Chains A and B, each alone.
Chain A
Amino acid sequence: MTRLANAFAKPALVCFVTAGDGDTAANLDALVEGGADVIELGMPFTDPMADGPAIQEANIRSLAKGTTTADIFAIAAAFRARHPDTPLVLMGYANPMIRRGPEWFANQCEAAGVDGVICVDIPPEEDAALGPALRAKGVAPIRLATPTTDAARLPQVLNGSGGFLYYVSVAGITGKQQAAMASIEDAVARLKAATDIPVAVGFGVRTPEQASAIAKVADGVVVGSALVELVAEHGEDAPAALRELTSALAHAVHSAR
């Protein structure tokens, strides 16, 4: 079993923070201590067009501090050394990932112990830009499904995807409103009927109550903007606040069923 498959053996809490925003190593440790099952490490980009204000600002804070791609892989590799069993996935946009070629990026992922990659702007139609290189190194290309992904299109999204399927529950950007629970339940049922890989639900999930409701039907719950806002508020002192929120979310997710 891979780290990701293990993590989703029970309902999993997936926690996102942006690399280079605040004391990232301490932030990641706090997420794990709070009970996060999977870590999503955001790669900052100058033009994060799928993100709302909270994550946009985190990208700007990180890049203003001079965060480089090398720094991000150093953060990932150090995390892997401290937490050998916690899956870590990178999330970001295509251009920083393919800048030095997809093989270079996949090699770096493998060397740093990165389990999967979520690339927002490489849909299955453009898989050749990164997917083959990741799969060749055993790094899972994690695809996104959305409310606009219809039944006819879903097989194409699933073909070649790995790790887990990230269901974006609202047509919109990160950190905004949550979708109605009924629509999430319907969508997750539809997705799970089409694939054996775990289905995690994100976008707009902020509270333990929301997380608990989603964990009743899905394999995982993704929380990002609410955590990133804590980093914005507390800066270098964010770990305590992150640990507290993560702990509440983890309890809600793990006791949902």
Chain B
Amino acid sequence: MTDATTDTMTDRANSFRNQPDEQGHFGDYGGRYVAETLMPLVLDLEREYRAAQADPAFKAEFDDLLEHYVGRPSPLYFAERLTDALGGAQVWFKRDELNHTGAHKINNCIGQILLAIRMGKTRIIAETGAGQHGVATATVCARFGLPCVIYMGATDVARQQPNVFRMKLLGAEVIPVTSGAATLKDAMNEGLRDWVANVHDTFYIIGTAAGPHPYPEMVRDFQSIIGIEARAQMLSRVGRLPDLLVACIGGGSNALGLFHPFLDDPEVKMLGVEAAGHGLDKAHAASLTGGAPGVLHGNKTYLLQDEDGQITEGHSISAGLDYPGIGPEHAWLKENGRVEYTSVTDDEALEGFQLLCRTEGIIPALEPSHAIAAVAKVAKTMPNDAIILANLCGRGDKDIFTVAEALGVEI
């Protein structure tokens, strides 16, 4: 064995970017906790994904659609007035809210629908909470002419009518889910029930970096375009890497998309921001900060649950963060200490939302408003030459009604 080979192997062993293992485990987390009916499917999906990864034509089509349909690369933006207002580190944003459909979700949907077509699947299903992933899925289904069924909790259907209408305009069938608490986790249960009954022709586009292997890895890979672009843009604009990355976390796909390409840059610190809702001692959606390890929806990860392992409801003003679990790679990154995790309350997120509106003329979604609130806390503790890069993963048009209600404004 040559020295070079030894070095390579050592590098790989020491890398934070070599997960999951062959069984889909990120340390103790992840895996394939699915019913036997689905097991041959997820194995098949993994085989097909590996083949697609090795096929330059697949990557070429993905890249082409990201550039010409989604509008990538998204800009890297120095938020000068926000930086001045906070008084501390420079704040930069990766502008994924400028993507087609207004959020990062579309990156993953493009990748998965190309895989579905490659596998010969003729029907697409997905779950959605706030409706952003549902809209992104309905969008790619319209683009590729595939029938699309979106499962959405009946509670969410009632409070996210604009997105329900968007999905219908795009030709999707939206099925309200009344089982359980009628929110995102119940929509995911119903998606799995559909999949198990329609295994021969149906592809399930999961919207976040969770679910059975290979979904967490695959969604992360498709979203990594965020961090790959940001890393190159940062080097080209300021000639060095940022000191701190910040991103909000529900399931955690936008955060992993930003973080993953930087994981082996030891000088870059990372902060994941969960939704503390009304507060960690009250109703919240902070699975890592306020949950415990368990198994749900195909993977082992941190979950909001009671002492008997029954899943409890998450709460956040942001419907996109309102999920009682988190992607398994985040559980692993928390335990090995590579990423730090914190949480931000509804009220703090609302302040972050308004701060960005007024200082930068950008209306952010409530999800990245959590990241902005965290940035506001840490920027002032850092020197003026330090650089924070936060992911602006969605725009806030969808949230204006929620924000108006929270601020006591009638529109």
Instruction: Decide if A153 is an interface residue (CB 8 Å cutoff).
Output: yes
In the complex where A94-B33, A171-B196 touch, is A46 in contact with B40 (Cβ < 8 A)? no
Contact in complex: A96, B309 (CB < 8 Å): yes
Contact across chains for A143 and B309 when beta carbons are under 8 A apart? no
The contact of B40 among A149, A168, A176, by CB within 8 Å, is A149
Contacts of A47 in B (CB 8 A): 180, 185-186, 189, 296-297, 311
Q: Is B60 an interface residue (CB 8 A)?
A: no
A176 to B37, CA, bound (A): 15
B308 close to A99 (CB less than 8 A): yes
In the complex, A123 Cα to B40 Cα: how many Å? 10
Q: Is the CB of A121 within 8 A of B35?
A: yes
Is A186 an interface residue, CB under 8 A from the partner? no
A148 an interface residue at 8 Å Cβ cutoff?
yes
Chain A, residue nearest B311 (CB) = A46
* Residues in A23-57 with C-beta less than 8 Å from chain B: 45-50, 52-53, 56
* 1/0 contact string of B299-328 vs chain A (CB within 8 Å): 010010101111100000000000000000
B36 close to A49 (CB less than 8 A) = no
Please determine whether A95 and B309 come into contact, CB atoms closer than 8 angstroms.
yes
Any B CB within 8 A of the CB of A196: no
**B34 lies within 8 A of chain A by Cβ:** yes
- Selected contact of B193 from candidates A50, A122, A143, CB within 8 Å: A50
Whether A63 sits at the interface, judged by CB under 8 Å, is yes
User: How far does the alpha carbon of A129 sit from the alpha carbon of B38 in the complex, in Å?
Assistant: 18
Q: Which residues of A contact B305 (CB under 8 A)?
A: 95, 99
- Contact: A126 with B40, CB < 8 Å? no
Q: Binary interface profile of A, 139-178, with partner B (CB < 8 Å = 1, else 0)? A: 0000111111110010001000000000010111100100
Contact in complex: B180, A60 (CB < 8 Å): yes
Q: B32 within 8 Å of A by Cβ? A: yes
Q: A99-B294, A172-B196, A173-B196 are in contact. Are A122 and B33 (CB under 8 A)?
A: yes
In the bound complex, what is the Cα–Cα distance between A176 and B297 (angstroms)? 22
Query: Which residue of the partner chain A has the closest CB to B39?
Result: A123
- In the complex, what residues of B have CB within 8 A of residue A144's CB? 35-36
Q: Which of A53, A129, A143 contacts B295 (CB 8 A)?
A: A129
A172 CB to closest chain B CB (Å) equals 4
CB distance from A157 to the nearest CB of B (A): 7
CB distance from B23 to the nearest CB of A (A): 6
Q: Across the interface, which residues of A come within 8 angstroms of B192, CB to CB?
A: 49-50
List chain A residues, Cβ under 8 A from B36. Answer: 123, 143-146, 148-149, 157, 168
Q: A16–B297 Cα gap in the complex (Å)? A: 24
The CA of A126 and the CA of B294, in the complex, are separated in Å by 13
Q: Mark B142-175, 1 if CB is under 8 A from A, else 0.
A: 0000000000000000000000000000000000
Report which of A48, A60, A172 forms a contact with B189, defined as CB distance below 8 A.
Answer: A48
Q: Summarize B's interface: helix, strand, loop or mixed.
A: mixed
A125 touches B309 (CB 8 A): no
Centre residue among B40, B186, B192, B309 by max chain A CB count within 10 A:
B309
B33 x A126 contact (CB < 8 A): yes
Whole-angstrom CA separation of A157 from B294 in the bound complex: 23
In angstroms, how far is the closest chain A Cβ from the Cβ of B203?
Answer: 15
Contacts of B37 in A (CB 8 A): 50, 146-148, 168, 171-172
Q: For the complex, is B279 an interface residue (Cβ under 8 Å from A)?
A: no
How many residues on chain B are close to A (CB under 8 Å)?
Answer: 36
The residue among A49, A94, A157 with the most chain B CB atoms within 10 A of its own CB is A49
Of all chain B residues, the one with the shortest Cβ separation from A157 is B36
CB under 8 Å from chain B, chain A span 170-210: 170-173, 176
B295-A94 in contact (CB<8A): yes
A-chain residues with CB within 8 Å of residue B39 when the two chains form the complex: 123, 125, 148-149, 153
Cβ of B189: which chain A residues have Cβ within 8 Å of it? Answer: 47-49
Please state if A95 and B311 are interface contacts (CB–CB under 8 Å).
yes
Q: Given contacts A46-B311, A149-B40, are A95 and B303 in contact (CB under 8 A)? A: yes
- The answer to the question of A68 belonging to the interface, with a C-beta cut-off of 8 Å to chain B, is yes
Residue A230 CB within 8 A of the other chain: no
Complex contact A148–B41 (CB within 8 A): yes
Report the minimal beta-carbon distance from A49 to chain B, rounded to whole angstroms: 4
Q: Which residues of B contact A120 (CB under 8 A)?
A: 35
Smallest CB-CB separation from A166: which chain B residue?
B36
Kindly provide the distance from the CB of B281 to the nearest chain A CB, expressed in whole angstroms: 22
A198, B11: Cα distance in complex, Å:
50
Check: B199 CB closer than 8 A to any chain A CB: yes
**Min distance, Cβ A214 to any Cβ of chain B, angstroms:** 19
Give the CA-CA distance A97 to B309 in the complex, in Å: 8
User: Is B298 on the interface with A (CB-CB < 8 A)?
Assistant: yes
- B31 located at the interface, meaning its Cβ lies under 8 Å from any Cβ of chain A in the complex: yes
Interface assignment of B384: CB less than 8 Å from any CB of chain A: no
Given contacts A46-B311, A48-B189, A98-B295, contact A129 B197 (CB under 8 A): no
- CB-nearest residue of chain B relative to A153? B40
Residues of A within 8 A of B298 (CB): 121
| Interchain CB contact under 8 A, A148 and B40 | yes
Who on chain B is nearest to A152 by CB? B40
A95 contacts B31, C-beta separation under 8 Å: no
Chain A contacts for B179, CB-based, 8 A: 53, 56
Interface assignment of A69: CB less than 8 Å from any CB of chain B: yes
What are 27 pairs between A and B in contact, CB < 8 Å? Answer: A45-B309, A46-B180, A46-B310, A46-B311, A47-B186, A47-B311, A49-B189, A49-B193, A50-B35, A94-B33, A95-B295, A95-B305, A95-B309, A96-B310, A97-B309, A99-B307, A123-B32, A123-B35, A123-B39, A125-B39, A126-B32, A129-B31, A145-B36, A146-B35, A153-B39, A172-B193, A172-B197
A98-B294, A125-B23, A148-B39 known; 12 new pairs, CB 8 Å cut-off, are A46-B310, A50-B37, A56-B179, A60-B180, A69-B308, A95-B295, A95-B310, A96-B310, A144-B35, A171-B199, A172-B193, A173-B197
Binding site for B on A (CB under 8 A): 45-50, 52-53, 56, 60, 63, 68-69, 93-99, 120-123, 125-126, 129, 143-150, 153, 157, 168, 170-173, 176
5 closest residue pairs by CB, A with B: A99-B309, A172-B197, A96-B309, A94-B295, A95-B309
